[in-house]
Amino acid sequence: MGETHASTPVAARVRRLEERLIEAGLVSDPELDEVLARYLAGASPLNGARMVARAWTDDDFRSRLLADANSVITELGLSMRSGLREQPLKVVANTPGRHNVIVCTLCSCYPTGLLGPSPSWYKSEAYRSRVVREPRAVLGEFGLTLPDDAEIMVWDSSSERRYLVLPVRPAGTDGMSEDDLVGLVTREGMIGTAAV
Amino acid sequence: MHDVAPARFAPGDRVRVHNVDPDHHTRAPRYVRGHQGVVVDSQGEWPLADDLARALDPRVEPVYTVRFAARDLWGDGVHTVSVDLWQSYLEAVTEHG
């Protein structure tokens, strides 16, 4: 998993494809940059973290989020609209006895707008092939040791739907404000490879 | 435009993923082909990714979340894996399996 994104074969393939498209006059470099910038503007794990912190502090928001995330995240100014059709979002909640983790075994789908660009390990063959086979061992390598009797649910994002994990609110945070809680939530927590 | 395929499955139904290996893009991951799972959710109708990838006028089908037991997929393990699958990837499992 040590290779950098720029050195991967797929990155080289994308560069060649870009060059061909530009040579053929179908698109220009600035146009491509503009599309990417528009797509990634505002895409950040801070968005997902705000959603999680609200769910931790507002039970009504939490239950509506788990039932129909797309209509609820608009209350935080967030949206799953990136292409022609809005992507459905499914939020899956961890409990003390149940842990969720997401993967895209076919490529690297995940809710980019809420989590920011995906980490290179999320796209790695090692993660994609192993987490569906031996999630407990993979989570252990991330430093997340679950109780022996904890149920593990893996979600493979093979359709247009995107998944996001709602972590368990950490113990000892009762006095914290929603804004302070936002700072505790990590991208890995919302993928499911960390507790929070 | 194709008509939308009517839903054949509902949550709770036991289904098997067709054990086919198409020579084109598909969203049926290899590791669930031929295996049985249980429908846990319906996601509404979506254009079939296999058709979109081949620039065909896409068939529109219900997509389901199907939950597989690790033991059924790999022979051991106690976790579950949930996979989102278009209807035409699936067949009903009869009482005789």
**Tokens representing residue B92 in the block:** 């009903």
Nearest to B82 by CA among A192, A60, A70: A192
Q: Give how far A180 is from chain B: nearest CA, Å.
A: 33
User: What's the predicted TM-score (pTM) here?
Assistant: 0.89
Contact B81 A132 (CB under 8 A): yes
What is the percent of chain A where pLDDT is above 90? 77
The secondary structure of A109-134 as a DSSP string is: ---HHHH-SPPHHHHSHHHHHHTTT-
Q: How many CB pairs under 8 A join A and B?
A: 57
Chain B residues touching residue A153 (CB < 8 angstroms): 79-80, 82
Contact list in B for residue A154 (CB cut-off 8 A) is: 79-82
pLDDT tens digit string along A95-115?
999 999 999 999 999 999 999
Average per-residue pLDDT for chain B? 95
Confidence tier at A144 by pLDDT (50, 70, 90): very high
Residue B97 has pLDDT above 70, yes or no: no
The residues, ordered by sequence, that sit 6+ positions from A55 with a Cβ below 8 Å of its Cβ are A61, A62, A65, A91, A166
Give the C-alpha separation, A184 to A173, whole Å.
10
pLDDT of residue A33: 84
Q: Is the predicted ipTM greater than 0.85, yes or no?
A: yes
Task: Tell me, yes or no, if A107 is annotated catalytic.
Answer: yes
Closest CA of chain B from A90, distance in Å: 10
Could you list the beta-strand ranges (E) of chain A.
Answer: 89-93, 98-103, 151-156, 162-166
- The reply to whether A4 touches chain B by the CB within 8 Å rule is no
Query: Residue B58: which pLDDT band, with cuts at 50, 70 and 90?
Result: very high
Which pLDDT score, from 0 to 100, does residue A122 have?
97
Euclidean distance between CA atoms B79 and A180, whole angstroms: 34
Mutation target to probe the A interface, by most A beta carbons within 10 A, among B25, B79, B80 is B79
Is pLDDT at A36 greater than 90 in this prediction?
no
Identify the active-site residue in A28, A63, A71, A107: A107
Q: Do B79 and A157 touch (CB under 8 A)?
A: no
* Overall average pLDDT of the A79-93 stretch: 86
How many angstroms separate the CA atoms of B62 and A22, rounded?
A: 38
